């Protein structure tokens, strides 16, 4: 059956290759560790290695958990809106910058709140419970802050539903609005986008290629091996 697997993998990769490259900075990336990473992505520089079919299947499975969480919440009789009356995902965009966000939903549970869903493996799930969202998953914390501010959903804490991919456990975490972090990370994104627009090469936000954020970065080799003038060559 190896041939069948090959065919499936090729189909997954072909679908990915047809997807248009993202030409804006998503708020989901705004809390991520390095602004130069955004520049690689926005300039559509190929990753050191393209995503494998295995990795793309993991992304698909993650999306499936979100659909399930929506179903579970609605089955509980709780109103959860994920799209507007025209069938579009709720979101926002900045008129003068390539900065946008699309939220998972608006939940009506003890107030009207931002709702976000994340699926994660066992250790990540446990860490979330043990340390709290800000310490364990800072980029999710920032994403929620930016969404709350731009969607005007600041009165009540957001709810993040995390699904444990190993066993289907769920936990609902409240994230209170914090204008300091919302403003700080919106400004960071807008400044970086301006610099990118002006053709400046953004500084690495890491002292070494062996730091965790660099080891996890899809442009590690290009970032550290190339001279500045060639850094964004395709
Ligand atoms: S390799 Fe490190 S410094 Fe370079 S873009 Fe990626 S995260 Fe930033």
Say what the pLDDT of residue 214 is: 94
The alpha carbon of 29 and the centre of ligand 1 are apart by a number of angstroms equal to 14
Say what the pLDDT of residue 168 is: 93
Each residue's pLDDT tens digit, 176-225: 999 999 999 999 999 999 999 999 999 999 999 999 999 999 999 999 98
Nearest CA, atom 7, ligand 1:
214
CATH (domain of 170): 3.90.320.10
Mean pLDDT, all residues of the chain:
94
Nearest CA, atom 5, ligand 1:
37
Does residue 115 register a pLDDT over 80?
yes
Say what the pLDDT of residue 226 is: 85
Give the three-class secondary structure for 9: helix
Say what the pLDDT of residue 78 is: 98
Say what the pLDDT of residue 191 is: 95
Ligand 1: does its nearest atom lie under 6 Å from the Cβ of 36?
A: yes
Does residue 229 register a pLDDT over 80?
no
Strands 25-26, 91-93: pairing is unpaired
Q: What percent of the chain has pLDDT over 90?
A: 87
Q: Which residue reads 């602004």 in tokens?
A: 35
CB atoms closer than 10 angstroms to residue 105 = 22
Q: What percent of the chain has pLDDT over 70?
A: 100
The alpha carbon of 209 and the centre of ligand 1 are apart by a number of angstroms equal to 7
CB atoms closer than 10 angstroms to residue 140 = 21
Ligand 1: does its nearest atom lie under 6 Å from the Cβ of 39?
A: no
State in Å, rounded, how far the first CA of the chain is from the last one.
37
Q: Which uninterrupted H or E stretch holds 35?
A: helix 35-42
Q: Is 30:185 a contact under the CB 8 Å cutoff?
A: yes
Enclosing domain of residue 225? 2-230
Ligand 1: does its nearest atom lie under 6 Å from the Cβ of 41?
A: no
pLDDT band at residue 6, thresholds of 50, 70 and 90?
A: very high
Say what the pLDDT of residue 94 is: 94
Ligand 1: does its nearest atom lie under 6 Å from the Cβ of 117?
A: no
Strand pairing partners for 91? 102
Taking the C-alpha atoms of residue 169 and residue 203, their distance in angstroms, rounded to an integer, is: 40
**Total number of domains constituting the chain:** 1
Say what the pLDDT of residue 227 is: 81
Ligand 1: does its nearest atom lie under 6 Å from the Cβ of 65?
A: no
The alpha carbon of 208 and the centre of ligand 1 are apart by a number of angstroms equal to 9
């Amino acid at each position: 059956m190896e041939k069948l697997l090959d065919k499936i993998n090729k189909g997954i990769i072909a679908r990915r290759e047809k997807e248009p490259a993202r030409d804006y900075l998503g708020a989901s990336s705004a809390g991520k560790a390095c602004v130069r990473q955004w520049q690689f992505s926005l300039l559509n520089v190929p990753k050191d290695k393209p995503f494998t079919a295995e990795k793309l299947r993991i992304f698909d499975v993650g999306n499936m958990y979100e659909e399930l969480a929506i179903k579970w919440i609605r089955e509980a009789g709780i109103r959860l809106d994920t799209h507007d009356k025209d069938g579009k995902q709720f979101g926002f965009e900045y008129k003068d910058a390539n900065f946008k966000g699309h939220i998972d939903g608006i939940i009506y549970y003890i107030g009207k709140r931002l709702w976000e869903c994340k699926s994660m493996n066992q250790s990540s799930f446990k860490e979330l419970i043990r340390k709290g969202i800000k310490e364990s998953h800072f980029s999710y914390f920032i994403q929620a802050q930016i969404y709350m501010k731009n969607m005007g959903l600041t009165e009540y804490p957001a709810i993040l539903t995390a699904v444990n991919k190993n066993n289907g456990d769920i936990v609902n975490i409240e994230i209170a609005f914090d204008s300091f972090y919302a403003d700080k990370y919106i400004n960071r994104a807008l400044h970086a986008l301006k610099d990118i627009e002006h053709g400046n090469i953004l500084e690495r936000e890491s002292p070494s290629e062996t730091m965790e954020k660099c080891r996890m970065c899809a442009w590690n080799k290009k970032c550290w091996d190339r001279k500045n003038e060639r850094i964004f060559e395709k």
